[in-house]
Amino acid sequence: MFKTFSCCDEVYPSSYPPMPDCLSTRTDKYERIWMELKDRTVEWNKGEWDDCAYDRNFFIVRKNRGCIVFYNIDEIKRIIIE
């Protein structure tokens, strides 16, 4: 499973696609995803999502192992997961 961007407490094994250096493997400790896109901002609060992923082309918000939405990585200016 893909996990969230955050401060460096655990890092993905090398078998995953290249990811940013700081990744947490525990999404249950996060409350909110906030993204600044080129034309708007988007916020996902706890309960609306339970996982997220990055696959080089898209940032994906997931719930119950299903994909809710795909954001084109070229459209994203900033992602904050807290």
The rounded percent of the chain whose pLDDT value lies above 70 is 67
Q: Where are the domains of the chain?
A: 4-81
Taking Cα atoms as reference points, which of 43, 28, 49, 27 lies closest to residue 80?
A: 43
pLDDT at 53 over 50: yes
Query: pLDDT band for position 64 (50/70/90)?
Result: confident
The three-class DSSP label of residue 76 is strand
Confidence of residue 25 (pLDDT cuts 50, 70, 90): low
pTM: 0.65
**Domain 4-81: CATH class, spelled out:** mainly beta
Q: Is the dihedral of CA 20, 28, 82, 47 positive or negative?
A: positive
